[in-house]
Amino acid sequence: MNEKPVDRRVRKTKRQLRLALMQLMSEKNVKDISVRELAAIADINRGTFYIHYKDVYDLLSQLEEEMAQGLIKVCQAHSAEEYNGSTFPYLSDLYQFIAENADMCRVLLGANGDKAYTDRICGILRDEHLYDFVAHFYPNNDPTLLDYFCAFIISGNLALALRWINSGMKESTEEMATLAGEIIMHGVQVLQTKGSR
């Protein structure tokens, strides 16, 4: 079935606004961004902006919500049981999601991002997948210890993903998923095996 031209135009407009907002937010605080400059960079008129959003904060809020919901879908599509010791299906999908949303990850989860939103994303990663994954492999551990381990893994993966994005994403999503998985499962031993090759 063919996609309606209106739907394509709306998607194109929203994509242009997303890219424009991420560009501007990499340069300044969202409170300093006007609809006028956002529309100019997106190459649309202000009237078109107001068809879709109330203001810049509404646009940002919708983008954040879309990213959060997309991440929840990735997390819920996987279970600990599918891990076979050598492949990391969840991490493969996670790094694919990160690649597809690199512009938003760089801005929203980076150094100048909103800490509350970063905490929300970390909470999703923990609650929708990681805690159950860790508990599956270490069922007799103290829940507090599992919480600490989850916090460590999530922080490390966030730093790893941002480093990958900011260095130009030269490695494939599959390479990053494997690296992240090996670090999670084997820690510093990864450096010993990779460094000796």
Q: Tell me: the pLDDT tens digits for 129-144?
A: 988 888 887 887 788 8
Q: Does the residue 129 lie in any domain? A: yes
Q: Does the residue 67 lie in any domain? A: no
Number of domains, the chain: 1
- Cα separation, 38 vs 85, whole angstroms: 47
Tokens of 103: 């512009």
- Cα separation, 28 vs 194, whole angstroms: 39
- pLDDT category, 190, cuts 50, 70, 90? low
Q: Does the residue 52 lie in any domain? A: no
Other beta carbons within 10 angstroms of residue 191's beta carbon come to 12
What does the radius of gyration of the chain's CA atoms come to, in whole angstroms?
19
Q: Does the residue 7 lie in any domain? A: no
Q: Tell me: the pLDDT tens digits for 75-129?
A: 999 987 777 666 789 999 999 999 999 999 999 999 888 999 999 999 999 999 9
> Whole-number mean pLDDT of the chain?
89
Q: Does the residue 140 lie in any domain? A: yes
Q: Does the residue 165 lie in any domain? A: yes
Chain centre to alpha carbon of residue 134: 21
Q: Does the residue 45 lie in any domain? A: no
| Residue-number span of the structural domain to which 97 is assigned | 78-195
Q: Does the residue 130 lie in any domain? A: yes
